[in-house]
A and B are shown apart, each in its own frame.
Chain A
Amino acid sequence: QVQLQESGPGLVKPSETLSLTCSVSGDSISSYYWSWIRQPPGKGLEWIGYIYYTGNTNYNPSLKSRVTMSVDTSNNQFSLKLSSVTTADTAVYYCARGRSIHRYWGQGTLVTVSS
Chain B
Amino acid sequence: DIQMTQSPSSLSASVGDRVTITCQASHDISKYLNWYQQKPGKAPKLLISEASDLQTGVPSRFSGSGSGTHFTFTISSLQPEDIATYYCQQYDNFPRTFGPGTKVDIK
Contact = CB atoms under 8 A, between A and B. Distances in A.
A2 B72 CA distance: 30
Given A44-B99, A45-B87, A101-B49, A58 B94 contact: yes
B24 interface: no
8 closest A-B pairs by CB: A100-B91, A105-B43, A47-B96, A60-B95, A45-B98, A101-B49, A44-B100, A103-B46
Contacts of B44: 45, 94, 102, 105
**Secondary structure call for the A interface:** loop
Contacts of B1: 61
Contacts of A103: 46, 55
Interface string B63-107: 000000000000000000000000101010011111111000000
Interface residues of B, number: 23
7 contacts: A45-B44, A46-B98, A62-B95, A100-B34, A101-B34, A102-B44, A105-B43
Given A101-B91, A105-B43, A47 B98 contact: yes
Contacts of B50: 101
Given A47-B95, A105-B43, 11 more contacts: A47-B97, A94-B43, A96-B43, A100-B32, A100-B91, A100-B96, A101-B50, A101-B91, A102-B34, A102-B36, A107-B42
A44 B49 contact: no
Nearest to A35: B96
A100 B90 CA distance: 8
A47 B87 CA distance: 13
Interface in A53-98: 58-62, 94, 96
A101 B99 contact: no
